[in-house]
Amino acid sequence: MNPEQFVQELSKCNFKLNENQINQFNQYFNSLIEANKHVNLTRITAEDDVYLKHFYDSITPLLTFSTVFKSSSSLCDVGAGAGFPSIPLKIMMPELQVTIVDSLGKRLNFLQGLITQLNLKNVALVHGRAEDVGQNKQYREQFDIVTARAVANMAVLSEYCLPLVKKGGNFIALKGPKAEDELKSSQKALTTLGGKAIALKELQLPQSTEDRTLILVKKVQPTPKKYPRQAGTPHRKPIH
C-alpha cells in the first residue's frame, strides 16, 4: 500500500485526508526509518509495508468502531512502542487527547521528537509500566478509550488496560488473526476487572492477505483496587 493507495482507501471509508495529514504521515514514515537506524522501533521498514501494517492497521479501530471515537475523547495507548496505534489515530482526529504509556525511555524520546515535528497538540508521554500507571490516581479510570496493539495476550492485556478506562468507556485490543479463543480464555479476567466484551471484528487489511482482529470491551464496573497487581505479576499469573 503506497501513500496514494493509503489516501484512496481511507477516502473509500469516508475519511478524506487533507494536505497537512498526508504530510504528517509522510514525515512520520521518514522519522521512523531514520530513528530505526539507532533504536529498534520496528522490523517493518519498506514504505508500502509501513503504510499498510503500521499506519492503516492503527486506524482500523476508528474505521470499525467509529461511534466510540468522539471529537473530545481522551485516549490512552498502552505500550505504544513507535506510536501505534495512537499517533495515526491522532493524525486522523487531531482533537483527540492522547496519553502514551511506555516503559522504554528510548522509544519515548523518539515519540517526543515526532510529536514536536508533526506539531501535535494534547499528547502526553508517560514513562512507566502499565501496572504502575494503572494504580496512579492521575491516570486510573480517567480515559474514554484505551488501546493496545500486539502487547500481550488478552487476559494479561486486560489487566494492563481496563484499570485505566473510566466506567462507561472502552478498551480496544488490536490483535492478529484468530483471536476468538484468546477472548474466550480471558472472560474471567474481563469480568473481574469490570469489563464486558461487546464486539469482535475480524478483518483483512486492504490489498493484502493480512488478517486482523479487533476486540471492543466496555467498562461496565469499576476495577477492584487490587488491580493491576504489581509489575510483572499479570504476565506471570494471569487471571484465569
Does 149 count as an annotated binding residue?
yes
For residue 81, give the nearest of 58, 64, 62 by alpha carbon.
58
Does 82 count as an annotated binding residue?
no
Does 148 count as an annotated binding residue?
no
Q: Using alpha carbons only, what angle is made at residue 171 by residues 170 and 177, rounded to the nearest 5 degrees?
A: 130
CA distance 147 to 172: 5
Does 95 count as an annotated binding residue?
no
CA distance 196 to 171: 10
Q: Which residues contact 202 (CB under 8 A, 6 or more apart)?
A: 177, 211, 212, 213
Q: Exposed e or buried b for every residue in 24-51, given b needs 16+ CB within 10 A?
A: bbeebbebbeebbeeeebbebeeeeebb
Extract the C-alpha cell encoding 131.
Answer: 501496572
Does 130 count as an annotated binding residue?
yes
CB 80 within 8 A of CB 102: yes
Binding site, by residue number, is 79, 84, 130-131, 149
Binding site for S-adenosyl-L-methionine, by residue number, is 79, 84, 130-131, 149
